[in-house]
């Protein structure tokens, strides 16, 4: 149902993407890896395995900033100027 209800389904790693594709029956389309918006197909570092919360935080911030910029460039949102 989420695939039909939302414009973007964003996963943190390739396992998330595979699970979303399996559950929705769709490949690609609305399903994205977070860091893809920053031009990378890397997974967000998982602190459960790395114990590096600082690296995970950096990855998430980088991905979210890039996603916001992507949305702004597409005219889907307007970000306030800083």
Half-sphere exposure of 52 (CA within 13 A, CB side): 9
H or E, element range at 10? strand 9-11
pTM of the model: 0.86
Backbone angles phi, psi at 80, to 5 degrees: -65, 140
- Asked if 9 and 3 count as a contact pair (C-beta separation under 8 A), the reply is yes
Tens of pLDDT along the chain (82 residues)?
888 899 999 999 999 999 999 999 999 899 999 999 999 999 999 999 999 999 999 999 999 999 999 999 998 888 777 6
Under 8 Å CB-to-CB from 53, ≥6 apart: which residues?
47
């Amino acid at each position: 149902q989420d695939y039909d209800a939302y414009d973007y389904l964003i996963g943190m790693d390739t396992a998330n993407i595979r699970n979303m594709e399996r559950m929705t029956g769709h490949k690609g389309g609305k399903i994205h890896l977070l860091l893809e918006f920053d031009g990378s197909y890397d997974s967000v570092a998982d602190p459960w395995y790395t114990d590096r919360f600082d690296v995970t935080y950096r990855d998430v911030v980088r991905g979210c900033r890039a996603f916001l910029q992507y949305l702004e460039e597409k005219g889907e949102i307007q970000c306030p100027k800083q």
